[in-house]
Structure 1
Amino acid sequence: MKIIDAKVIVCSPGRNFVTLKIVTDDGLVGWGDATLNGRELSVASYLKDHVAPCLIGRDPHQIEDIWQYLYKGAYWRRGPVTMTAIAAVDMALWDIKAKVANLPLYQLLGGKSRAGCLVYGHANGASIDDTIEAVERHLEEGFKAIRVQTGVPGLAKVYGVGQPNGFYEPATKGLPQESIWSTDKYIQHMPKLFEALRDRFGPDLPLLHDVHHRLTPIEAARLGKMLEPYHLFWMEDATPAENQDAFRLIRQHTTTPLAVGEVFNCIWDCKTLIENQLIDYIRTSVTHTGGISHMRKIAALAELYQVRTGSHGPTDVSPICMGAALHFDISIPNFGIQEYMAHEPLVNEVFPNSYRFENGYMVPGDEPGHGVTMDEALAARYPYDPAYLPIARLEDGTLWNW
């Protein structure tokens, strides 16, 4: 069997996606997600101009060799563009291999380690009362774990909170939008949110919160300490993790569980965090971290240190990523939780899929492969539409972490 074509498809059915289609001489097709929010065309170019020509004529069964070829062979390693491109190839090749075997992908990864994958939804509100209502809606929908974000008095915009009654999407058309951030206002307000949530929903509902890299390590330590009475499932992305040792300071001051890694691209980004048990959940995603092959290595390292996975999975990755992620999630022994935001109906039409949400859990389909395809004709009706992620500044104008 040989690869005879590798096609890059960019479309925007409500938001931008980059898809890789690999075709073999036997007529089999494998699909990979290469979406990098706000930088989609960079990955599309890397795939089309540099990666795709190197795939033609290769044996698609040689997944690990092709992965190493694309990683080591390029000399310039790592980074979000390179690793997202490699991830798309990896997903597509695993899809093909499972189709050859006529098995759902999780069977090739060792079979199921659980019946379903616990997922969390996003309950966001402009006020604490609005957030409580959003949590109630998620519970009615069947979610068993919920991430909560709320507006902060004195700040016009806050991460995770969209327009009233609107579906949250961080990327916006045109040049990047800017917002003002105040750490002091945020830290003082968050305990009030979780006090209200525990008063309303009791102690047992798993609640998660995303700081989105906004705090310094000592500020994150302070917030984690303040939130301990409300026993969060996790506090996510408390501080930028380029300096992995920064989490050592946070860990010294709070027992609030810590999660990080949605912007990580490889195992080296999280090696120190895992080996020193400075985090409880690693949030690397199939699309942005080299695909299933590399995610399995990260999960195996994390298992040694009792760190569980909690992979990134919002609507800025395509259903192909979600399909591949669920096969990975259901197979590994140290799965923790999976982020899940339902795509708009049009997206599911462009990317027909077989996974399903059942009573708080996601379950991958049992058809051969990872269970997600693409309607190319429909996708062609929605061309690329430029969009950027926002930018945050402190109240004095200093550029800050969005």
Structure 2
Amino acid sequence: MENSNIFDGMMGKVRTESAPSQLRITDLRITNIDGAPKHCILLKLFTNQGLIGYGELRDASSATYALMLKSRLLGENPCNVDRLFRRIRQFGGMSRQGGGVSAVEIALLDLAGKAYGIPVYQLLGGQYRSQVRMYCDTDVEGKHSGTQMGEALKRRIERGYTFLKMDLGMDLLFDEPGCLNAPLGFLEDVEKYSAKALRHQSGSIAPEVMRGRHYETFTIPHHATGIHLTERGIQYLVQYVREVRDVIGYEVPLAIDHLGHLGLGDCIRLARQLEPYNIAWLEDVAPWQYTEQYVKIANATTIPICTGEDIYLHDTFRPLLESGGVSVVHPDVLTIGGAMEIKKLGDLCEQYGAAMAIHMAESPIGCMAAVHAAAALPHILAVEHHSTDIPWWNDLAMGIANPLVQNGFIQVPDTPGLGISELNEELIREHLHSRKAGYWEETSQWDEEWSNDRVWS
């Protein structure tokens, strides 16, 4: 009887809510929110033991990319992360098309971490750092000067950020006579139907951008637009950067994004004149797949060249790395295929001597996925933070620090999974997307979706 009491006491301390070998996926659901900072699609994987895994699709994506995977996941053990990833990775693609696979991979890792009681970074091989540096992207709305951008960036520094980024490109020149050269009438069309012009207050792209010639305008690659900078335009942008540096100084790293759909020659001309201003990198100077264009610009300037947020799977970066076309890779965890692919890309960076920063413009779910991936990398410059000015952003997720970013860093949590215990459902309801599916609606219509998935004969 005494031994029985001892045994009963011991069993009372054993965790019984999670038996990893018996864990099974029972459901997949999504919801769409706006303004965090863009249209964000959140995902839940439900299990037979009550554990829920959180994932997120790439910003401004489509829920279909995840929903079509549901039938391939039901009844499976989410702890078999690599096995399930290999099953679904063929359904991912570049940019937002990688969002479904990436969201599921993150949710699988979250579930596996919760089942075994360990953080996601431990599933990726262990921890290299206990805090992750965040770089702060900064926008200034409306017509403004480089001095005004500098003041906005200075406020970031005062909040503790140690690495900065801003946009610089043809959007600044639409109202400046003589700065841009293009087929007559084309620039007006680009400006009128640009993503920024069509953003609703909620942060969504208006539906008309997806129709007719407006859609075609957005899908013209840089080299085919016929848009060029005039000498006056180049000097305007150089002066803008000079004004920024006059405010923030030259010690803090400053990266540049969104040059616009400019041809290679214009990027080279601009880059050479920006060299005195200590630019951390020039981002997305051409569509990522044009390796030779990246090589040409990389060889023409001393400014580091960066791309990668739209690249799916780590090995797709290899041509850019092998050729020397980039010196900074910039993957998004929610496009590349998830955290394991980031880890594999880190190995390629070591092989080819490239730096890595991580693109992140998503909710706290995507943020924590990026933080855990960065914690497991031998080397990382910084992870992007695009939501500093959104007062409710941090409140979307429970269990993480609030404020999450402190003095420009995020402390890596050692709690299970991503570190998110639950979502703030009331806040999610307040920010539901006005034109997308509702609040965690049931998805049984996807339970039996089927195709012959074999890609060989």
TM-score bracket for this pair, using the shorter chain length: 0.7 to 0.9
2:397 aligned partner:
351
Deviation at 1:361, TM superposition (A): 1.8
User: Residue 119 of structure 1 aligns to a residue in which SS?
Assistant: strand
Query: C-alpha deviations, 1:232-284, integer Å up to 9, x for none?
Result: 11111112222112111102211101111112222354221112222111111
Deviation at 1:346, TM superposition (A): 3.2
State the distance in 2 between where 1:95 and 1:124 align: 32
Structure 1 window deviating more from structure 2 (154-163 vs 187-196): it is 154-163
Distance 1:64 1:203, change over 3 A: same
2:65 aligned partner:
46
Match of 1:138 among 141, 156, 159: 156
Higher helix fraction (1 or 2) = 2
Query: C-alpha deviations, 1:330-387, integer Å up to 9, x for none?
Result: 2101212211122623343333351521222222323211123423454245432349
- 1:182-201 to 2 correspondences below 5 Å: 183-184=229-230, 186-201=233-248
Asked if structure 2 preserves the Cα contact closer than 8 Å seen for 1:144 and 1:205, the reply is yes
Query: C-alpha deviations, 1:34-73, integer Å up to 9, x for none?
Result: 1441xx3xx312322x21122111111111110110124x
1:283 aligned partner:
330
2:451 aligned partner:
none
**Structure of higher CA gyration radius:** 2
Deviation at 1:82, TM superposition (A): 4.2
Deviation at 1:9, TM superposition (A): 2.2
2:313 aligned partner:
266
Distance 1:35 1:237, change over 3 A: closer
Q: Which runs of 4+ in 1 moved over 6 A?
A: 156-163, 166-170, 177-181
- 1:246-265 to 2 correspondences below 5 Å: 246-265=293-312
Match of 2:411 among 338, 357, 363: 363
Asked if structure 2 preserves the Cα contact closer than 8 Å seen for 1:323 and 1:353, the reply is no
User: Residue 61 of structure 1 aligns to a residue in which SS?
Assistant: coil
Asked if structure 1 preserves the Cα contact closer than 8 Å seen for 2:364 and 2:396, the reply is no
Match of 1:334 among 376, 379, 383: 379
User: Residue 155 of structure 1 aligns to a residue in which SS?
Assistant: coil
Distance 1:159 1:215, change over 3 A: farther
Query: C-alpha deviations, 1:49-107, integer Å up to 9, x for none?
Result: x21122111111111110110124x5xx5234542101111000111111122122222
Structure 1 window deviating more from structure 2 (340-349 vs 176-185): it is 176-185
Match of 1:175 among 208, 213, 223: 208
Asked if structure 2 preserves the Cα contact closer than 8 Å seen for 1:12 and 1:379, the reply is no
Amino acid at match of 1:7: R
TM-score by length of 1: 0.83
1:383 aligned partner:
432
State the distance in 2 between where 1:282 and 1:238 align: 13
Structure 1 window deviating more from structure 2 (23-32 vs 215-224): it is 215-224
Distance 1:199 1:229, change over 3 A: same
Query: C-alpha deviations, 1:107-134, integer Å up to 9, x for none?
Result: 2323321242222212344211211211
Amino acid at match of 1:253: A
The number of equivalent residue pairs is 375
- 1:210-249 to 2 correspondences below 5 Å: 210-212=257-259, 214-249=261-296
State the distance in 2 between where 1:90 and 1:283 align: 19
1:208 aligned partner:
255
Structure 1 window deviating more from structure 2 (378-387 vs 140-149): it is 378-387
Q: What stretches of structure 1 of length at least 5 have no aligned partner?
A: 388-402
Query: Is 1:6 aligned to 2:39, yes or no?
Result: no
Deviation at 1:192, TM superposition (A): 1.1
State the distance in 2 between where 1:147 and 1:46 align: 30
Query: Is 1:21 aligned to 2:44, yes or no?
Result: yes
Distance 1:147 1:105, change over 3 A: same
2:107 aligned partner:
92
Distance 1:186 1:334, change over 3 A: farther
State the distance in 2 between where 1:124 and 1:219 align: 23
User: Residue 346 of structure 1 aligns to a residue in which SS?
Assistant: coil
Amino acid at match of 1:383: L
Query: C-alpha deviations, 1:271-305, integer Å up to 9, x for none?
Result: 21112222111111111111112222222112211
Asked if structure 2 preserves the Cα contact closer than 8 Å seen for 1:211 and 1:236, the reply is yes
State the distance in 1 between where 2:261 and 2:233 align: 10
Match of 2:74 among 56, 64, 67: 56
TM-score by length of 2: 0.74
Asked if structure 2 preserves the Cα contact closer than 8 Å seen for 1:2 and 1:58, the reply is yes
Distance 1:266 1:24, change over 3 A: same
Asked if structure 1 preserves the Cα contact closer than 8 Å seen for 2:146 and 2:242, the reply is no
Query: Is 1:152 aligned to 2:172, yes or no?
Result: yes
Asked if structure 2 preserves the Cα contact closer than 8 Å seen for 1:152 and 1:189, the reply is no
Amino acid at match of 1:117: V
State the distance in 1 between where 2:195 and 2:289 align: 26
State the distance in 2 between where 1:201 and 1:274 align: 32
Distance 1:260 1:80, change over 3 A: closer
Deviation at 1:10, TM superposition (A): 2.4
Asked if structure 2 preserves the Cα contact closer than 8 Å seen for 1:117 and 1:329, the reply is yes
User: Residue 107 of structure 1 aligns to a residue in which SS?
Assistant: helix
- 1:70-81 to 2 correspondences below 5 Å: 70-72=88-90, 74=91, 78-81=93-96
What is the RMSD of the two structures over their aligned residues, measured on CA atoms?
Answer: 3.1
1:83 aligned partner:
98
